[in-house]
Amino acid sequence: MRRNRRLAALSASLFVFLAACAENAPQDTLEPKGPVARDIDNLIDPVFIVAGVVFVLVEGLVLLAMFKFRAKPDSPEPEQIHGNTRLEVGWTLAPALILLAVAVPTIATIFDLAKRPENPIRVTVTGHQFWWEYRYDDLGIVTANELRMPAGRPVELTLLSNDVIHSYWIAPLAGKTDVVPGRQNRMSFSADEPGEYIGQCTEFCGDSHANMRAKAIAMTPADFDAWVASQRAPSVKASPGTRGEAGALLFAQKGCGGCHTVEGVSEGTIGPNLTHFASRTTFAGSIFDNNDANLRRWLRDPLGEKPGNKMIIPGAPLTPDEITELIVYLNTLR
Ligand code: CUA
């Protein structure tokens, strides 16, 4: 009976331990993909080692005390150590020295990370329930959900909130920074290599907090320049007589433009700017890959797919034909 219980406890703890290992874990701070994340990771290793040594030492002594000095029915009262100056000074000083040793590299890293980068791409990031807006201050680009950046060059983010507290986190590239209404926070980071780096909002911000993902896409400098040029170009108008044009009419009719900007068409600011929607790989807070099937799901029932979000379609639900026309229109917004 007792053996079974021990076995159960052992396998439970082993299970918890193994649950921490995953083959495909894109939000892994222990695999840094940029200099800022690497600085933080370089701090994690020594602090973890110090903490590990302390843990093994303390737990070892506890176990030793438990088994070796266990009270027996006829054992006398153990020797009392209350008021032993040498011991008390020792166990006050030792932890203080350990914390001091940990504090030196920690504070140095904090100062390193607070340095402003040279020649950054400056982006104002605004947290909304439940998506991220990116404004490239010097490039005149407004986009959503995906932070595009050239690999090897830092981005400097000014973080604002439109409503409640969010927290911005691209796990493989940097630590978390809170996004607080009425405050401007700043962070910067860069990516070593082109690639997609996954993150998410890490401050509970409402019903769809878990549906507020974040994504940084690092590109080669040439690809980034091409992206900048395409984002600055006016979006292409749907050709007359096509389903795309019908979708554009529907977009106006249904009042979509009241919340969404499409440059030259509408000026809404409650939802993401859709001027170049079709150039994005994901939508709706990066919870969906940008394809027709997902757009159909989304336009059929946005509140069901993402509870608490602000996308309320007047006269919803849309008919399947209306949805098809809107999808064709969205696909023209390159
Ligand atoms: Cu935004 Cu959680």
Ligand 1 atom closest to Cα of residue 130: 1
Q: What are the backbone angles phi and psi of residue 320, rounded to the nearest 5°?
A: -55, -35
Least confident of 208-212, 239-243, 306-310: 239-243
146: Cβ contacts below 8 Å, ≥ 6 apart = 134, 215, 216, 217, 280, 281, 282, 286
The stretch 112-123 carries a mean pLDDT of 93
Ligand 1 atom closest to Cα of residue 203: 2
The stretch 294-312 carries a mean pLDDT of 92
Better-predicted residue by pLDDT, 239 or 174: 174
- Residues touching ligand 1 (Cβ under 6 Å) are 127, 130, 166, 201, 203-205, 209, 212
Distance from residue 129's CA to the centre of ligand 1 (Å)? 7
Predicted local confidence at residue 30, as pLDDT: 86
Res 1 pLDDT > 60? no
Distance from residue 210's CA to the centre of ligand 1 (Å)? 7
Query: How do residues 55-65 score in pLDDT, each as one tens digit?
Result: 999 999 999 99
Query: How do residues 180-208 score in pLDDT, each as one tens digit?
Result: 999 999 999 999 999 999 999 999 999 99
Predicted local confidence at residue 21, as pLDDT: 67
146-150 and 213-219 beta bridge pairing:
parallel
Res 232 pLDDT > 60? yes
> Which one, of 249, 236, 235, 239, lies nearest residue 321 by Cα?
249
Whole-number Å distance between alpha carbons of 298 and 288 = 9
Distance from residue 31's CA to the centre of ligand 1 (Å)? 24
Better-predicted residue by pLDDT, 189 or 264: 189
Residue with tokens 């150039």: 279
> Hey, whose CA ends up nearest to atom 1 of ligand 1?
166
Ligand 1 atom closest to Cα of residue 166: 1
Ligand 1 atom closest to Cα of residue 165: 1
Predicted local confidence at residue 298, as pLDDT: 94
Whole-number Å distance between alpha carbons of 279 and 229 = 12
**Assigned token pair, 129:** 């329930």
pLDDT band at 26 (very low <50, low <70, confident <90, very high): confident
Distance from residue 215's CA to the centre of ligand 1 (Å)? 14
Quickly list H helices, the chain. 2-19, 35-68, 85-114, 221-232, 243-253, 292-300, 302-305, 320-332
Res 22 pLDDT > 80? no
Q: How does the average pLDDT of the chain come out, rounded?
A: 91
Distance from residue 87's CA to the centre of ligand 1 (Å)? 48
